[in-house]
Chains A and B, each alone.
Chain A
Amino acid sequence: MNKASIAVLAVPLLLAACIAAEKENTECDIESVSLHLDSPTNFFYHEYDTMQAVISTETSVVFTIRSYVDINTVPTTLRVTKGAIVYLVAEDGTKTPFLNGSPVDFSDEAVRLFHVVSQDGAFSRDYKISIVHDKPSDGNLSFDYESYHLDSSGKFYVWDGPDFFNDGTWKNGNPGFKICKSSALPMDYPTTPAVGAGPDGSNCVKLETCDTGPFGRMVNMRLASGSMFNGIFDVSNALTNPLKATLLGSPFTHKPMQLRVWLRYERGSVFQDRNGAVVNDVLDEPDVYVVFYRNEDALGNKIVLDGNDVLTNPNIVGLGRLPHHYNPDGSDQLSNNPIHGVTDQWQEFTIPIVYTEEVDATILENKGYSINFGSASSWQGAFFIGAVGSKLYMDNMRLFCE
C-alpha cells in the first residue's frame, strides 16, 4: 500500500475518531394526539377523527364530537420528540408528568394544557388540547374579508372564516413566502387586505403573484401566487413538496350549488415558466373554484385533497370553476386568449357547481364530504408558473346550498 492511499484512508478515520458525543435533543413537539375510545363513531363522525397529526407550527389541537354526545375522561396518547418530557398543567399551574395512555378529563369542552420540555431541558412548548361539540354550520355562507389580523409571528395577515374551517381561518401561501422573503413587510406578501378597495368601498382581499427573491431562485420556486383556501398549510412541505403543503378542504354538511363572487383582475405582463424563462404568447389567468369531495375511502381512510389532485381526485363529486381552456386529456391549457372573463373592472361572477356523482344524504349529514374554496392570482401558481404582478381582487363571496 503506498503512502497516498494510506493518507486517503487515514483522513476519514481520523475524522471519525473525532466525532464528539451526541448532544441531547433540543426539540419538544407533540407530533400527534390519539384518543382511545371503545366505539369512536358514537362520538366522532369518522373513526380517523380520534387521531390528529400536529404540524410543527400548531400548538392548539381541537377534536370535534357530535353535537348531542358528551365525553368525560379519555385515555390519551401523545407522540412527542424523542426524549422530550410531557407535563399536564393543572388550572393552578402545577405540572405533573404525563404518562401516555392516562385518562384526561375533557368534559365540558375543557381546554387542557400540556407543557413539553426537550430532552436537554433548554426548550419547551405549551400545547392546548380540547374536545368540542360540533356546531351545525349554515349552508348559505357569505364572506366579506373584513375580519383579518396579523398572525402570531406578526409577519403576515390571516382572515377569519367560519367555525367549520380548520382553526376557523382562511389559509394561504403566506407562510411559505415567509421562508423565502424574511425581509417582507405584511403588505408585501402575496395575500393581503386591500383597505377600501372593494366594489362597495369596503375592504377586500388582494391576491398578488410575487417574486420570491434570491432564496426562491435557489430552490427553484421563483414566484408565489396569492391564494385563499380552507384547510391546512403545512409549512414543513413548503420546500420539498409544495403541492403537498396545502391540505385542502373542511367537512361540510350541506350540498353547495352555486358560488357568487366579485372579482377584478390586473394581469402581470411577463409570463414565466418554472425556471424563470419568459414564455411568449401566454397570458396569466386568475382562478376561483369550489370543490366538493368524499373525504373517506371505502376502507375508512381519510382523504384530503392537496395541490396535486384538488381538481382531479376521483373522490370529487362536485366542481365549479372559472372558465379556462383545457387540453384534450383534461389538463390545463396555457393560452393567449383566456375565457375567464375577469377584467380590471369589478363584476360579480356566478359559478355553478356541477355534480358528477350523487350526494348521499346520510353521508352528507355525517360529515362525509368536504368543501374547498380555492382562489389564486395565477392559475398555475401552484407549479410556480405565472406572471409576477398579477393581481386578483376578491370580495363578497357567497355560497348557496341546496
Chain B
Amino acid sequence: MKNHITSYLLILIVLLAYTQQAYPQKGNEEKKDYAWQKWGPTTGLSGGGFIVRAGYVIGGTTPLPLPAEVRKINSFSPRGGVSLGIDGYRMFSKRWGISLGAHFFWEGFHTSADVKNYYVWLEQEGEITKGYFTGNNVTSTEMWGVTLPLLATLRMSPRWNLSFGPYLSYYFKQTFTGVVSDNDAGVGYLREDTPTGAKIKITRENPTPYPDDFADNMLPLGAGMEFCFDWKAMRHLNVFGKLDWGMTNIWRRDFEAISFKMFPIYATIGVAYRY
C-alpha cells in the first residue's frame, strides 16, 4: 500500500511544481499583488465566502493494505458518484485560511475479485457458516450521507488552493451486498471451519449471496482526512479535486464476518461556484 500513498504524494508534488512554474518569480511586484487580489476572496485578501461544489465521486471501500487473500481484481466499476456540497471559508491572511463544509454524497462501487483462503463468518438468525473460501467474490456497496470537513487552506499561488484537514461523515443509508461463486478457472469452494474441513463447492450456477442484513453491521459514522485542491478557472468558478481518506473501519467492532478492517477512500472531481 506504500505505492498507493506514494502515488498521491507524487501527484501533489507535481501540482506544486506546476504552480511554481506557471507563476514564475519574474515580473514586478504590483502585477503579482494584482493577481493575488484578483483571484482572492470577495473582499481583499483576508475575506470570507462560500463555495458551492458539484462533483463526480469515484473510489472504493477497501482493506488497507489489500490482504494476501485477494489474488486478482477482475473488474471495478463505480456506483452512484454524486457529491453536492457547500463550504464556508475565511482567509486570515494572504496564504492561510479555514473552511467548514457539508458535502452530501452518494458513492459506492462494484468489484469482482479472485480470493484464496478468504475467511468468512456468516451468521443469520443464530445459524453460523464459517470457513475459508477460495474462488470469486463480487461485492457492491453504496452509501448515502453527508461529510463535514473542517479544513485548513493554503493558498499556494493566486489561483491554486490546497486544503486539508479532518472530516466526519454521517451515513443516512448504506448497502453492502455480495455473492461468492467459482472464478473463471472454475474454482469455487468453502473449507468448512478450517482448511482441513469439508470442501463445499460453490459455483455460479448456484452462487451464495451475502446475507440480506449484512449492511446492518456498518457503522453510521466515519472519520478521516480530506485533501482538496481548487483551481480558480474563472472569477467565480473553481475546478476542484478532493480525496476523502477514511480512517475508521466501516464495520462494527463485533462484526466477525469480515476478518479485516475496511476503509472508504473516495475521490471527487468537480466544479464549484465561489462567491
* Residue positions of A touching B, CB distance < 8 A: 3-4, 7-8, 11-12, 14-23, 26-29, 56-57, 118, 123-125, 175, 179-183, 213-215, 218-220, 235-241
Contacts and interface: CB of A to CB of B under 8 A. Distances in A.
A179 B68 contact: no
18 contacts: A7-B58, A11-B59, A12-B75, A15-B60, A18-B66, A26-B117, A27-B191, A27-B195, A56-B197, A179-B198, A180-B129, A181-B127, A183-B127, A215-B122, A218-B124, A218-B209, A220-B206, A239-B208
Contacts of B148: none
Contact of A239 (B70, B76, B201): B201
Contacts of A220: 206
A239 B200 contact: yes
Contacts of A7: 58, 267, 269
B35 to A, nearest CB: 25
Given A18-B66, A22-B116, A239-B201, A218 B195 contact: no
A18 B65 contact: yes
> Top 10 nearest A-B pairs by Cβ distance?
A56-B199, A214-B124, A26-B195, A20-B68, A240-B201, A12-B76, A18-B66, A214-B125, A240-B203, A182-B128
Nearest to B197: A56
Interface stretch (B1-9, B84-92, B153-161, B163-171): B1-9
A20 B67 contact: yes
A316 to B, nearest CB: 27
B212 to A, nearest CB: 8
Give the bracket for the number of chain B residues in contact with chain A.
Answer: 35 or more
A183 B76 contact: no
A235 B211 CA distance: 22
| Most chain A C-beta atoms within 10 Å of own C-beta, residue among B7, B192, B203, B267 | B192
Nearest to B269: A3
B76 A11 contact: yes
A183 B126 contact: yes
A239 B205 CA distance: 10
B198 A19 contact: no
A139 B65 CA distance: 65
Interface string B19-37: 0000000000000000000
A19 B206 CA distance: 28
Nearest to A57: B198
A18 B191 contact: no
Given A18-B3, A19-B73, A23-B69, 17 more contacts: A14-B7, A15-B73, A17-B3, A17-B4, A18-B1, A18-B4, A19-B71, A118-B195, A123-B194, A125-B196, A179-B200, A213-B127, A215-B127, A218-B209, A239-B200, A240-B203, A241-B201
| Most chain B C-beta atoms within 10 Å of own C-beta, residue among A16, A56, A219 | A56
Interface string B202-230: 11011011010000000000000000000
A4 B56 contact: yes
A20 B66 contact: yes
Contacts of B125: 213-214
